[in-house]
Structure 1
Amino acid sequence: MIRFLMTVLFMAGLAGAASAQSSYSIQPGDVLQIEVLEDPDLGRDVLVLPDGSISFPLAGTVRAGGRTVDGVASTITSRLADDFAVEPTVLVSVASLGEGESDLIDIYIMGEANEPGLREVEPGITLLQFLAASGGLSRFAAEKRIQLRRIDPQTGQERVYRFNYRTMGGDDSIRGTTVLAPGDVIVVPERRLFE
């Protein structure tokens, strides 16, 4: 009786895991395990590339990002159908999840920063925290004319905000506590001769 109950609980756990996988939205960095029952040689683990695609023999490039395992299996099945006498049985499961790189956002800094370039940072970082993470300002920085350039996602237009490092805000300046958004570009211009 105990063995029977353990078997039932184990099967229920497997059914729950299968249900969770069938509704999971595949992300870049995930590894998918793909099996074709009619041809075991085709079975393999494939990495979901940053653009959300995978490559599978005889099926070519398949869009996987944002889709479910059932959707990917259906696409691969239809693409393999011409190579088999009967429609193949394709099983797709998530072998491992990506590293969660999508939690970081890209912010750029250029000009008179001590460490210009691209930084991947946690969401919620403020302008002042980001400047500190970029090694601060060089001695040639125009501290009163720092720019935060941001693209409006709805209009696609760029807005330029001015930041005065010396006063940490004030008239015609955003504050150092301004939260940065993905894709923001911070421009630190060079100081003028008598500035």
Structure 2
Amino acid sequence: MKKLFTLFAAGLLALCSMVTHAQDGKSDYPLGAGDTIRVQVFQNPDLTIETRVSESGIITYPLIGAVPLGGLSVAAAEKKIADALQTGGFIQKPQVNIALIQIRGNQVSVLGQVARPGRFPLETVNTRLSDMLANAGGATAAGDDVVVVTGIRDGKAFRKEIDIPSIFLDNKAQDNLLLQGGDTIYVHRAPVFFIYGEVQRPGSFRIERDMTIMQALAQGGGPNARGSEKRLRLHRKLPNGTVQQIEPQLTDAVQANDVLYVKESIF
């Protein structure tokens, strides 16, 4: 009867552990440097410890010593410790439970033109770029459509520019990157153009996708009573630093930092 009760209790603990992980969504969270965890073994209170995952992804555990847990999910880490206890002959059928006390490892930094810049934990192994941008509140009105993701992949520096709307508008799901701990997402300020002269609202405006000179003119409210859309001059800075002056067509594309001048009508 005692043996039956023990087996039942062990099974109940395992079931509770599974339910807890399912509820808190942390069973597939990849442990990383700086995470603080509590490790418990059923009916072995002397093996309960709270510890921090080292920079090399290792914890030191009673009886079995150094255990590499970095990158493992919580469930996989529980199994690794249980297997080590059983293989070492310390406990026959150990029931191990790991609880996340504080998440510091596997964080992603979101910087620039977002509603809530900061560091956010990777709570699951399949967190994608769009998920993390949503955590940060998305790009502000001044934010660019293109974001820069940097980090480390296969031991090498990684950098990629990603057009966020194209992920959904052009079905480029492959650009919705799987993030890793230590990644940084940077949302730059959207490019702008400038318009002045005989217009209703001179000033600087965000360049919308595929914007033309005609649309840029409309952003400035169009020519005023003295201006003419047929008398335009565009100042465009070239890669070599020189400024080119051209008479644009209304269908020409607007580029970052273009300066559009609307001249006074000759009539």
- Per the normalisation by structure 2, the TM-score is 0.36
Structure number with larger C-alpha Rg: 2
Structure having greater relative contact order (Cα 8 Å, sep ≥ 6):
1
Kindly indicate which of the two structures has a greater share of residues assigned to strand.
Answer: 2
